[in-house]
Structure formats: structure tokens, C-alpha cells
Amino acid sequence: MEAIMDIIGGLLMVGGACFLLFGGLGLIRMPDIYNRIQAGSKTTTLGTLLTLAGAACLQPAWGWKLLLIGIFLIFTNPVSAQVLASTAHRRGAHQSPLTEVDRLAEDREGKA
């Protein structure tokens, strides 16, 4: 039984590491800050959750604490991503020339 849990835990951790790797790759390849935040926030959430789940399989005694870390992660990760994005937009960060529509800038100009 323990061997099976070890294998499942190991697989979950490898899966999490893969998503974190894709996130890192996204940070390098994406053209501007918004797309980079997109790559960073989604993959770190799932990657870290899978890693925590893997750790819980390997060390069931840590389960509650790992669950708690997971809950904090789900609630704080998107908030920090949103704050970064809105601050970047307010300071007029560089946007990729591929960007087609920017309703936020249009509305800001309309009000000003």
C-alpha cells in the first residue's frame, strides 16, 4: 500500500514540476507583461497544488497543513496576479504590438 502511495505521490510531483517548467518557459517566450502574468499565475497555481498533493501522498501526516497551504494559494495567487496587471496598466507598461483591442485604455481616455 505504501509503495503505491509513493508512486502516486512521485507522479503527482513530477506532473507539478512539468507545469512549473511550462510556466517558466512562458515567462521567457511571452511578448509582454500581461501574457507573462498569464503564464506565471496559472501554471504556478496548478503546479504547486500538484506538488503539495504529491507531498501529501508521501507524508500523510502533513495532510492538513498542506491542504491549508493549498487553500491560501488558491485565494492569494489570482489576487497578486490581478494587482500586478492593474498596476502595470496604470503605469502604461509596454504592450505587445499583437494586442488588438484595449477597452480599458479606451474607457480611461473617454473619462479623462
**In whole angstroms, what is the distance from residue 88 CA to residue 95 CA?**
10
**SS3 state of residue 71:** helix
Is 22 a residue that touches other proteins (CB under 8 A)? yes
Residues 46-65 that bind other proteins (CB under 8 A): 46-47, 64-65
Candidate ranges 1-9, 30-38, 52-60; the one touching other proteins (CB under 8 A): 30-38
**Closest CB to other proteins among 6 and 21?**
21
Neighbours of 98 (CB within 10 A): 8
- Which CA distances in Å does 5 have to 30, 51, 53, 104? 37, 14, 11, 49
Interface residues with other proteins (CB under 8 A) are 19, 22-23, 25-26, 29-32, 34-35, 37-39, 41-43, 45-47, 64-65, 67-68, 74-75, 77-79, 81-82, 85-86, 89, 96, 98-105, 107
